[in-house]
């Protein structure tokens, strides 16, 4: 990818939600909620603290993460739907 996020921003690709419910009912696209889990595609170098020192991010490309339902800004890069969000919008790393 030729996109590099700045500062403490992270690029996340949403992971697809379940196609069926636990009871086996197929869920149509219009009724699906957007998944709140994704894979980190790219990360910025980090944020600067009060003294100007660069503080590295805790997530890295390839991490599976959980984020808030309304987190990030949706963008389309190279034909992929992605989210750009601050690291603070990520709730945790899965796995």
CA distance 18 to 23: 12
pLDDT one-digit tens code per residue, 27-86: 665 545 566 899 999 999 999 999 999 999 999 999 999 998 888 999 998 888 999 999
Answer yes or no: pTM beyond 0.85.
Answer: no
What is the CATH code of the structural domain delimited by 9-16+31-94? 2.30.33.40
Q: What is the DSSP letter of 58?
A: S
Q: Domain residues of the chain, as ranges?
A: 9-16+31-94
- Structural tokens at position 91: 């709730």
């Amino acid at each position: 990818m030729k996109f590099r996020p700045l500062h403490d921003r992270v690029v996340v690709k949403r992971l697809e939600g379940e196609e069926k419910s636990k009871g086996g009912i197929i869920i149509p696209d219009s009724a699906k909620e957007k998944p709140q889990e994704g894979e980190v595609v790219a990360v910025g170098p980090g944020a600067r603290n009060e003294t100007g020192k660069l503080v590295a991010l805790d997530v890295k490309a390839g991490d599976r993460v959980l984020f808030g339902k309304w987190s990030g800004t949706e963008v389309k890069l190279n034909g992929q739907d992605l989210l750009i969000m601050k690291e603070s919008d990520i709730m945790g790393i899965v796995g």
